[in-house]
Amino acid sequence: MEEALLKDGERIDDLQINNLKIIQNPNGFCFGLDAVLLANFVELRKGFKVVDLGTGTGIIPILLAGKSQDTQIKAIEIQEDVSEMASRSMKLNQLEDRVEVLNIDLKDHNKYLQPNSFDVVTTNPPYMHSEGLINPGDKKAISRHEVKCTLEDVIATAAKLLKDHGKLFMVHRPQRLVDIIIQCRKYKLEPKRLRFVHSTAGKKPNLLLLECRKFSQPELKIVDPLIIYKDNGQYTDEIQSIYERTSLQEGGGNYGEG
């Protein structure tokens, strides 16, 4: 059954959480720790409707589906072959009735999704500008650089899809924080909770986790930093705990490669 879902060059990775698995191609773009951290950062309630923008191979919807038994999730991915792989991962995990993968451009969301209808939007968008790219059609380039969509495209789409007081959860790079806040406020998404992620204590942050709320009053809470590695190179206790509980409670690869 599992092998029948695979194509040449692909593999099935066990997520070590609630028997969840994902199909990946090591020659393409595999998910990283940033996706796991974002899924853990997301707060869900019973019956929430969620949309994941730029879902890639579907890691975030899979983990979120494991966090809540009745969450309904839409997953948007513009690359046809990557979207098709994500759909097979949903079938692999028997999540087809809860997670729908849409092979569309997120800028065309209004043709497929009802505005102001989602409780939560998640996104692990491309981190870098696309200027100077040698091969903008490469899958890794599309995942890492703003080739198919810009930061503003992602935030504008999130704002249109969210209900009033709905929440956007994003993982990104600290050097884009000013751009992120400017765009979020432009589209009435108020930053409410911010957590910086550091490879080791004492080092500058490599990632940020941000929660914004639509039509909310200004007040940003800075959460204690999240440290990935101990001095001996092992994961910290908190990271180990995140891996253990990512899909076990409601609410609530490689580092930096999401």
Distance CA 79, CA 246 (A): 27
Q: What is the pTM of this model?
A: 0.90
Residue 166 phi, psi dihedral angles, 5° rounding: -70, 165
Degrees, nearest 5: CA angle 246-67-245? 25
Domain encompassing residue 121: 3-245
Per-residue pLDDT of the chain in tens (258 residues, 90 and over written 9): 677 899 999 999 998 778 899 999 988 878 889 999 999 999 999 999 999 999 999 999 999 998 888 899 999 999 999 999 999 999 999 999 999 999 999 999 999 999 999 999 999 998 766 554 444 555 554 455 455 689 999 999 999 999 999 999 999 999 999 999 999 999 999 999 999 999 999 999 999 999 999 999 999 999 999 999 999 999 999 999 988 765 433 333 334 433
Put residue 70 in one of left, alpha, beta given phi > 0 → left and psi -120 to 50 → alpha: alpha
**159, 160, 130: which is closest to 143 by C-alpha?**
130
251 part of a folded domain: no
- The DSSP bridge partners found for residue 99 are 73
100 part of a folded domain: yes
Residue 121 is part of a domain; what is its CATH number? Answer: 3.40.50.150
Number of structural domains (the chain) is 1
252 part of a folded domain: no
